[in-house]
Amino acid sequence: MPAEAGAPAPDSLHALGILAGGGDLPGRVAAAAQAAGRPVFLVGFEGFAEPPVLAPYPHDVARLGAAGRILALLRAHDCRDLVLVGPVRRPSLLSLRPDAEGTRLLARIGRAAFAGDDGLLAAIVRVLGEEGFRVLGAHEILTEALGPEGLLTRTAPDADAMADIRRGVAVTRALGTVDVGQGCVVQQGIVLAVEAIEGTDAMLARAAGVRRPGPGGVLVKLVKPGQERRADLPTIGPATIAEAVQAGLRGVVFEAGGTLLAEREATVAAADAAGLFLLGINPFDGSW
């Protein structure tokens, strides 16, 4: 996905700040930026960021509610551009325990703090911009990580699977329109599970418990309509494939050009080894 039209190029004279959640994507973004000659500084969110991912790079760790400390760290390391990457479970306001700066920022986020994830993330991006930072999408640094359109595996969906995919696309787009989730599982035309605050892994675990006899279902992951693409793009990786196998699925479908494929070669290899299909689609095309 190209950078926003008319947007200036990232300022490579200053460090790229990476606000790191879980998984390996924060490290991949850091490695790509360094390979392009850009310094990086990572702020790992306590309880989410993985220490081995942070370790090779300049970094510090802060809890989610410590906005004052986070902004001070970014400014001290001369970060002007930021990337928000890696899953973070949305905390309750009670457990967030915001510091004074966090309380000030929450007041500016306003009612979006109580909205869906995309509404909240869009508000966070706006407030960070007002604080003098420019938020970039992970896909603007990891340009090769966006999943392409078409079949990536040896196994292909049959007619029944395609019917489940069409049903899954309709359901997931409806979920996204009301800012609920980015995916669902459909088997034999029946929606086994939809994604909400629990995330994809938990959704797949639920789907495993209610799957029906016969041909397995499909996982469909799409970008929400109108989603702020600089944060929380759908992500699929080897762990997703492993969870899909445990759930008895026979395929995974993602939005081409809008989904991050973490460890693409390993993800495709895992799907091939399990006999699953991995298919990138344009949900607005319908030719699939």
Most confidently predicted of 19-33, 231-245, 265-279: 265-279
- Per-residue pLDDT tens digits for 147-159: 999 999 999 999 9
* Contact between 187 and 250 (Cβ < 8 Å): no
| pLDDT for 91 | 64
Which of 272, 166, 154 is closest to 218 using CA atoms? 166
Residue 91 half-sphere exposure toward CB, CA atoms < 13 A: 13
pLDDT tops 70 at residue 135: yes
- Per-residue pLDDT tens digits for 215-271: 999 999 999 887 778 877 888 999 999 999 999 999 999 999 999 888 889 999 999
More reliable by pLDDT, 197 or 5: 197
DSSP annotation of 27: H
Alpha-carbon span 251 to 144, nearest angstrom: 22
Mean pLDDT, the chain, integer? 87
* Contact between 61 and 34 (Cβ < 8 Å): no
| pLDDT for 115 | 58
Residues in a beta bridge with 253: 220, 279
Confidence of residue 100 (pLDDT cuts 50, 70, 90): confident
Structural domains of the chain ordered from first start: 15-143 (3.40.50.20), 146-281 (3.40.140.80)
| pLDDT for 12 | 59
Which ranges of the chain does DSSP label H, i.e. alpha helix? 25-35, 51-54, 67-76, 93-96, 100-109, 117-130, 138-141, 159-177, 200-210, 238-246, 264-274
pLDDT tops 90 at residue 213: yes
| pLDDT for 68 | 87
DSSP annotation of 107: H
Alpha-carbon span 58 to 178, nearest angstrom: 39
DSSP annotation of 143: G
Residues of the chain with pLDDT > 70: what percent?
88
Most confidently predicted of 83-87, 114-118, 212-216: 212-216
Alpha-carbon span 146 to 193, nearest angstrom: 25
